[in-house]
Structure 1
Amino acid sequence: MQSRGRYHRTVLLVLVRTVWIAVCAAVLVVSGIAWSTVSTISNGVERSFAIPEDAPRSSSGRNILIMGLTTRLDLHGEPLPDDVLRRMQAGESDRGGYNANTLILLHIPASGPAIAMSVPRDNLVPLSSGGEGKIKEAYGRAKVAEEERLQAAGQHDKRTLERAGREAGRRAQVQTVATFLNQPIDHLVEISLIGFFHIAEGLGGVDVCLKNATKDPLSGADFPAGRQHLDAGQSLSFVRQRHGLPNGDLDRTKRQQAFLSAVARRLKGADVSAMQAMIDMAKQDVVLDSRFDLADFARNVPTEVRFETLPVEGGARVDGLDVNKVDPEKVRKKVTELAKEPPPPPSNDGIPCID
């Protein structure tokens, strides 16, 4: 029984390390992977062919693009159950669209710690579909364009349109980020908003620490200062909040990183039911690229991941929208530096407090 428990815990860590990068930050890899279980999970997760076989590959390790979508729909474009929407406190199922509000490039070197680089979602960049826009919009714009193209050609099956549109969105988001960062993308991981909720729910909530009390009715955030335990609904409000924060959306990026670190801490003591909930979450909320080999990743996953947010030059108004001005050369230089030498780990072994 002890061996089986070790196998289950290993599989969970492999899966969540793949799906949510922050698990790598604090949870050690344990030996004895149960291949049959890893294979079952790997086969149960939806796959994408958005990265072509002949796409450029990283020569200095592996680059994994983590995309968190704002959509309140499931993987097939169907509305979530009313009770789930209510507990998420994130509005109705038609809200959110298909913006990639979370974009993180996880660079795994041949040796040493990995580095997780958050790309602010409002960066104004050239989009792969043409023109400029917020980097988060590449997915949704391409999805709509592909669905309109197929409808004009006579395709009206809802699931077919959804599947093709989302594949087009993934391709566009990968190409846009790869071009902006001047980095090849080896793998992709996609998870929608419900995935955040299911992770926190499966683990019985997470612990975070805030420097100041904050309240935002738009996200449902209402938190006192100090260390506190958040349930699943509060966790979702926590990662969604951007209003009422000193640096707006840039501080939301820090919240996402704090949430992922909190997940890592919770996994250390997760029981069998929590681990099974995480596995179920991956099968219903996650998409991996077709070449992502979970077993190989498990054998080579680093034991440490460090976080960094890529730089912006400041805010601006373009066509009535708030955007981040960026200097692509400065961003690319920073990515290269971080890939070579990640920042030092935090000195605080506890839960660091954030704004």
Structure 2
Amino acid sequence: MPENTRHRPRPAAVRRGRRAPWQLALRVAAWGTSATLLLGCGATWYVYRSLTDGLTTSDALDAVRGKAPRHLDNSVNLLLIGLDSRKDMNGNDLPRQFVQTELHAGSSDIGYYNTNTLILMHIPADGGKVQAFSIPRDDYVQTLNGDGSVQGHYKIKEAYANAYTTVHDKYAAQGVKGADLEAKSREAGREATLATVQQFTGVPIDHFAEVNLLGFYDIAKVLQPITVCLKHPVKDRYSGANFPAGVQQLNARQALAFVRQRHGLDEGDLDRTRRQQAFISTVTHQLKSQGVWASPSKLQGLFDVVKKDVVLDSSWNVLDFAQQAPNLTGGNVVFHTLPIEGFGIRNREDVNLVDPDKVKSIVQQAFGPASSPSPAATGTTAAAPATVDVINGNGGRGIASEALSSLVKLGYTAGATGNAAPRSATTVRYGAGAQQAAQQIAGRLHAGTATAGSAVPAGHVVVTLGADYTPPGEQAPSPTATASSTAPAADSGPAVKAGGVPCVN
């Protein structure tokens, strides 16, 4: 399905210098156990360290370290990021014919840099069961940049694209071009995704791997046929999925259609999320059952995909992680989907409404104890300097004064209050020097994106309250209490257990 498009430069990878062969082997071993396709790990990888030159790495985690509660043990949290971009690692459009016939994904202009797959995994220090949570891509959350500044409220998948675009435009205006411009822009996107997921879930991210749409296809091509199981027959012209019910084997083109389908499924994107979980389970099962680790030709193909389609964090300490890795290929993984509270319309888009406190509670309970959260992890970042004026377009008596009082308690300077004609949506505008404060306030009020206002005095933020106004610190209205709600609340649905071929919708 087409996504919103924006100005797109031509991406280039973020590459580091050549490392010693044994270091590269260890890093690839680690990626193999936790990247989006969970390609497994173990001592066998050490035999193939000569294949590991040319990996693409990122230092994006440096921007978010220490901004979430710390582990109290040696457990590891991994974030698997899947980009929807129809571009290669260098930002070049994939051939049109390939995108249309093999990927069945429209055109290369679709997708931009949205993160349509986000899976957060927790590998316990004692080698116990691995817990994994998929984060639905349309969850409407407060998104952050890597430095902790607030982008606004958007679908969680848009954090990457928002940061990418902002940084690209900034550096392009300074004359930065080509690969350097693309590297800075994509690194900002990764940092924003990491910061947003950390804040949303309330747990630290220790490592991550990023793979593009082509990566799913390439892995499936190496390992095909891919065995899957469907509870019902499906036919969808958007993704190209056309499968009977039951267990069946798919080629690479069909496997990509299997993980991309959402039209025609009872729970849409939530069912697609479970398809992705089932795909990972199946791939890890095949890697173990087919003896891939003993096949140099298969391993060569997997390494080629890693180097071509995957970006890895550069800080993985595999020696600390090695004893935990067998759980991922041994079927000791349970996949969950984070719950939503229902559906609504925000910024004129269909979104999933979520309860951030509930999400944090679920994830933290599953992942185990951690230290006290830092201020950034709890959303209590110090208020940026600004004088706030509040205008009541909500209709409630005294609501402007109450809203201003709430914002003053958060650290902003009190300005004036006033009234305006009733309106449906809360807006935030800012004058010169007040952008950071406006972004913070817009995030706290669930008011979308703060915008510059030529009539707003320097150092001021003007908040105009609408019918959707929610006092800062309170939860967003439940879906049953808003006119934009279109469906009842939904939970996360059944878990998908790894170790075989799970049957899904």
Q: Distance in 1 between matches of 2:56 and 2:71?
A: 24
Deviation (angstroms), 1:89? 1.9
Deviation (angstroms), 1:231? 0.6
Are the structure 2 counterparts of residues 345 and 124 from structure 1 closer, same or farther at C-alpha, using a change threshold of 3 Å?
closer
Are the structure 2 counterparts of residues 214 and 153 from structure 1 closer, same or farther at C-alpha, using a change threshold of 3 Å?
same
Q: Distance in 1 between matches of 2:44 and 2:187?
A: 35
1:8-23 equivalence runs, <5 A? 15-20=31-36, 22-23=38-39
Alignment-derived partner of residue 78 in structure 1: 92
> Bigger shift: 139-148 or 287-296?
287-296
Alignment-derived partner of residue 230 in structure 2: 210
Are the structure 2 counterparts of residues 153 and 348 from structure 1 closer, same or farther at C-alpha, using a change threshold of 3 Å?
closer
Alignment-derived partner of residue 306 in structure 1: 334
> Bigger shift: 248-257 or 215-224?
215-224
Q: Distance in 1 between matches of 2:324 and 2:352?
A: 36
1:67-216 equivalence runs, <5 A? 67-82=81-96, 84-85=98-99, 86-111=101-126, 112-128=128-144, 129-155=150-176, 157-216=177-236
TM-score between the two structures when normalised by the length of structure 2: 0.62
Are the structure 2 counterparts of residues 196 and 346 from structure 1 closer, same or farther at C-alpha, using a change threshold of 3 Å?
closer
Q: Distance in 1 between matches of 2:497 and 2:94?
A: 41
- Residue by residue, what CA displacement relative to the aligned partner does 1:121-173 show, whole Å, maximum 9, x if unpaired? 11000010421000010001100110000111122x22222111100000000
Deviation (angstroms), 1:322? 1.1
Alignment-derived partner of residue 64 in structure 1: 78
Taking only aligned residues, the RMSD between alpha carbons, in angstroms, comes to 2.7
1:351 aligned onto 2:366: no
Alignment-derived partner of residue 5 in structure 1: none
Paired residues of 2:104 and 2:240 also in contact (CA < 8 A):
yes
SS in structure 2 at match of 1:311: coil
The share of aligned pairs that are identical, in percent, is 43
Q: Distance in 2 between matches of 1:257 and 1:83?
A: 28
Deviation (angstroms), 1:198? 0.6
1:34 aligned onto 2:46: yes
1:259-338 equivalence runs, <5 A? 259-268=279-288, 269=290, 270=292, 271-294=295-318, 296-303=320-327, 304-338=332-366
Q: Distance in 2 between matches of 1:185 and 1:346?
A: 22
Question: If each structure's helix is expressed as a fraction of its own residues, which one has the higher value?
Answer: 1
Paired residues of 2:278 and 2:496 also in contact (CA < 8 A):
no
SS in structure 1 at match of 2:343: strand
Paired residues of 2:124 and 2:324 also in contact (CA < 8 A):
no
Q: Distance in 1 between matches of 2:113 and 2:356?
A: 24
Q: Distance in 2 between matches of 1:178 and 1:146?
A: 21
Are the structure 2 counterparts of residues 159 and 347 from structure 1 closer, same or farther at C-alpha, using a change threshold of 3 Å?
closer
Paired residues of 1:77 and 1:159 also in contact (CA < 8 A):
no
Q: Distance in 2 between matches of 1:206 and 1:273?
A: 18
> Bigger shift: 219-228 or 11-20?
11-20
Are the structure 2 counterparts of residues 260 and 347 from structure 1 closer, same or farther at C-alpha, using a change threshold of 3 Å?
closer
Are the structure 2 counterparts of residues 39 and 349 from structure 1 closer, same or farther at C-alpha, using a change threshold of 3 Å?
closer
Deviation (angstroms), 1:18? 2.9
Deviation (angstroms), 1:90? 1.7
Alignment-derived partner of residue 46 in structure 1: 56
Long gaps (5+) in structure 2: 1-25, 145-149, 370-493
TM-score between the two structures when normalised by the length of structure 1: 0.87
Moved over 3 A (4+): 10-15, 20-24, 29-33, 37-40, 57-60, 81-84, 293-300, 344-350
Deviation (angstroms), 1:256? 0.2
Are the structure 2 counterparts of residues 116 and 21 from structure 1 closer, same or farther at C-alpha, using a change threshold of 3 Å?
farther
Match of 1:227 among 238, 247, 252: 247
Q: Distance in 2 between matches of 1:238 and 1:331?
A: 28
- Residue by residue, what CA displacement relative to the aligned partner does 1:234-254 show, whole Å, maximum 9, x if unpaired? 111111111100000000000
- Residue by residue, what CA displacement relative to the aligned partner does 1:4-60 show, whole Å, maximum 9, x if unpaired? xxxxxx998754213236556xxxx6546527x34752x532111111178125334
SS in structure 2 at match of 1:175: helix
Are the structure 2 counterparts of residues 167 and 54 from structure 1 closer, same or farther at C-alpha, using a change threshold of 3 Å?
closer
Bigger radius of gyration, 1 or 2? 2
Q: Distance in 2 between matches of 1:322 and 1:345?
A: 25
Read off the aligned partner of 2:503 and give its amino acid letter. Answer: C
> Bigger shift: 106-115 or 167-176?
106-115
Alignment-derived partner of residue 473 in structure 2: none
- Residue by residue, what CA displacement relative to the aligned partner does 1:161-203 show, whole Å, maximum 9, x if unpaired? 2111100000000001101111111111101101100110000
Long gaps (5+) in structure 1: 1-9
Paired residues of 1:68 and 1:193 also in contact (CA < 8 A):
yes
> Bigger shift: 213-222 or 12-21?
12-21
Q: Distance in 1 between matches of 2:172 and 2:241?
A: 40
SS in structure 2 at match of 1:121: coil
Paired residues of 2:37 and 2:283 also in contact (CA < 8 A):
no
Paired residues of 1:76 and 1:163 also in contact (CA < 8 A):
no
